[in-house]
Amino acid sequence: MIIVSYILMLIGAFFYAIGGLGIYRMPDLFNRAQAGTKATTLGTLSLLLGVGVQQPSWIPKLLLIAVFIAVTNPVGSSTLARAGYHSGVPIYEGTQVDDLKELYKKEDGLDE
């Protein structure tokens, strides 16, 4: 049982490392947000599961932490990406399509 727990915890920690590396290597804010959010969410879930296998009496609290992080982490990075697009952070030059431009052009037109 303890081996299963450590394998889950190692997987979680590995995805934390991937998340950090993704934040460092990706070329612009939006790609960084993608790598960071996904990797840390699964990392946390896997790590909490590993801890729960070793300490079954902690499972309710761990469940609360897991649900909270799974709900709020994507909301946080979506808000950040939206704010970043609004204030015009540089976008990676390899970006293919940009459907968002029309939305903000319309909004800016209304403001003036």
Partner 1 sequence: MSKFIGASVIMFIPWVLLAGSDPSELILGATVAMVIAGIIYRNLDYAFKSGSLAGAIKFLVVYVPVFLWELVKANIDVAFRVLNPRMPINPGFVKIPTGIKGDYGRLALANSITLTPGTLSVDGDENHLYVHWIDVMGESQKERGELVSGPFEDILGGIFK
Partner 2 sequence: MMNAFVFTLVGLGLFFSLLRLLTGPTPFDRVLSLDTMNIIISGSIVLIALIFNNALYLDIAIVYAVLAFLETIVFARYLEGRS
Interacting residue ranges for partner 2, rule: CB under 8 A: 6, 9-10, 12-14, 16-21, 23-24, 29, 32-33, 36, 40-41, 43-44, 47-48, 51, 54-55, 57-58, 61-62, 64-65, 68-69, 72-73, 75-77, 79-80, 82-84, 86-90
Cα separation, 48 vs 50, in Å, equals 5
Tokens of 88: 């015009």
Cα separation, 86 vs 63, in Å, equals 35
- Residue from 13, 30, 111, 112 in contact with partner 1 (CB under 8 A): 30
Cα 73 off chain centre by: 6
Dihedral angle sign, alpha carbons of residues 84, 82, 90, 15: positive
Residue labelled with tokens 């699964």: 42
Q: Which residues bind partner 1 (CB under 8 A)?
A: 15, 18, 21-22, 25-28, 30-31, 33-35, 37-39, 41-42, 45, 60-61, 63-64, 70-71, 74-75, 77-78, 81-82, 85, 92, 94-101, 103
